[in-house]
């Protein structure tokens, strides 16, 4: 059996179960890494956008549940969440060797009978386990029918349903053959909420195109924020700190809070100092990363953080809040690839920005640090991890 598995390599029949697929993000990039490890894998998702999946996962068969036929499923995704547990439990995995679920919510709810189930856990669902007074979504940011239906859910259905979901979520995690966390901080959450001992396999980061631009590494006098323009991502703190420090900032990305952040810049009379570039291509993003003085990553409770690794791969240091996932990717010494601020306050970040010198960081050291998270390492580790699970079966 051991020799047979070694020779099979990427021919293992893998079912990759994902949360709904309709736009690119860290989890969607992670799925591409799994498909790189197992090229013949097929995807199972409660529902998906065929245009997105065809373009982003070409030549991959995508299975869907009954939810694919629900009206306005992308616009009404929050009220429709109540159907997700049943959707994932409806999948059958005949003729597959192993199921790999990658989940921030319900994908791990699948039932696999006699074949192994490995869950790649992005994090236990934060809307269940780390609510901190929050629900699934801020109702004030929703509009129209979505807001009306979510209001009904939040006031009448939500509390009792989420209590049941927590029970099911823990049971689903404990049914898994193995759980691989994306970082040590997520591993700790898995132990805390599920009472399960997880392994750690860091997400894949495609460092090759980033490192191909190393000859461009001429630093300019501005900082970069790249990511979703959302309050929880810390973009407001980045803007306020840059304005207070009197340093230029370029903001790459879109999000629900884009209008509010543009209004904030106008209020601060900093339109010439803070520039919103919107969505840019990967090529343009990598170019901006290589030219930036540093990447600002003021995110709290980050599970891993691919963007700081991408910045390092571009030869650029990172300024991040000292908490959770980034502590595993950014190094303050030997090699020095970034710097942390310890108080989540405008003054604390502004002080670092005023005194920051990109010359204190060697681009080659940043690239070497990023190589620890290269896609090739992820592929190698995941292939061997799955082979080990099958051998023990």
CA distance 338 to 336: 6
Burial of 81 (0-12, 13-18, 19+ CB in 10 A): buried
Q: Which CATH number among 3.30.70.260, 3.40.50.300, 3.40.50.2000, 3.30.360.10 corresponds to the domain 208-373? A: 3.40.50.2000
- Residue-wise DSSP of 110-156: ---TTS-EEEEES-S-HHHH--TT--SS-GGG--HHHHHHHHHIIII
pLDDT tens digits, one per residue of 157-203? 567 788 899 999 999 999 999 999 999 999 999 999 999 999 999 99
Model confidence at 111: pLDDT above 60:
yes
Output phi, psi for 5, to 5 deg.
-65, -35
Model confidence at 249: pLDDT above 60:
yes
CA distance 206 to 33: 9
pLDDT tens digits, one per residue of 129-149? 987 634 445 555 556 665 666
pLDDT tens digits, one per residue of 302-332? 899 899 999 999 999 999 999 999 999 999 9
Domain boundaries, the chain: 2-204+375-392, 208-373
Say which CATH superfamily domain 2-204+375-392 falls into: Glycogen Phosphorylase B; (3.40.50.2000)
Which pTM was predicted? 0.87
Model confidence at 333: pLDDT above 90:
no
Lowest model confidence (mean pLDDT) among 65-74, 102-111, 159-168, 214-223: 214-223
């Amino acid at each position: 059996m051991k020799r047979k598995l070694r020779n099979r390599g990427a021919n293992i029949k893998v079912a990759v179960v994902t949360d709904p697929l309709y736009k690119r993000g860290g989890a969607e990039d992670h799925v591409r890494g799994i498909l790189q490890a197992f090229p013949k894998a097929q995807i199972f998702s409660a529902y998906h956008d065929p245009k997105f999946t065809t373009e982003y996962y070409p030549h991959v068969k995508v299975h869907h549940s009954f939810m694919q036929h629900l009206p306005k499923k992308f616009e009404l995704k929050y009220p429709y969440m109540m159907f997700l547990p049943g959707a994932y439990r409806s999948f059958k995995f005949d003729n597959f060797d192993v199921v790999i679920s990658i989940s921030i919510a319900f994908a791990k709810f699948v039932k696999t009978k006699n074949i192994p189930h490995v869950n790649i856990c992005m994090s236990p669902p934060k809307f269940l386990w780390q609510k901190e007074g929050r629900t699934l979504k801020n109702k004030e940011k929703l509009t129209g029918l979505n807001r009306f239906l979510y209001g009904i859910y939040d006031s009448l259905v939500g509390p009792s349903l989420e209590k049941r979901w927590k029970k099911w979520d823990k049971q689903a995690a404990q049914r898994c053959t193995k759980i691989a966390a994306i970082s040590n901080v997520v591993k700790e959450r898995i132990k805390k909420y599920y009472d399960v001992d997880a392994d750690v396999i860091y997400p894949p980061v495609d460092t090759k195109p980033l490192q191909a631009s190393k000859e461009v590494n001429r630093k300019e006098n501005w900082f970069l924020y790249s990511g979703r323009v959302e309050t929880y991502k810390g973009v407001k703190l980045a803007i306020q700190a840059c304005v207070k420090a009197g340093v230029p900032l370029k903001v790459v990305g879109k999000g629900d809070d884009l209008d509010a952040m543009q209004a904030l810049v106008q209020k601060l009379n900093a339109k010439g100092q803070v520039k919103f570039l919107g969505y840019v291509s990967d090529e343009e993003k990598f170019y901006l990363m290589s030219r930036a003085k540093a990447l600002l990553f003021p995110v709290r409770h980050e599970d891993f953080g691919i963007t700081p690794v991408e910045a390092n791969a571009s030869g650029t240091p990172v300024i991040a809040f000292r908490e959770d996932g980034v502590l595993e990717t950014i190094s303050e010494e030997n090699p020095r690839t970034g710097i942390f601020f310890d108080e989540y306050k405008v003054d604390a970040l502004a002080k670092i920005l005023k005194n920051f010198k990109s010359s204190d960081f060697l681009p080659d050291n940043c690239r070497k640090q990023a190589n620890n998270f290269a896609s090739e390492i992820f592929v190698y580790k995941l292939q061997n991890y799955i082979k080990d699970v099958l051998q023990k079966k």
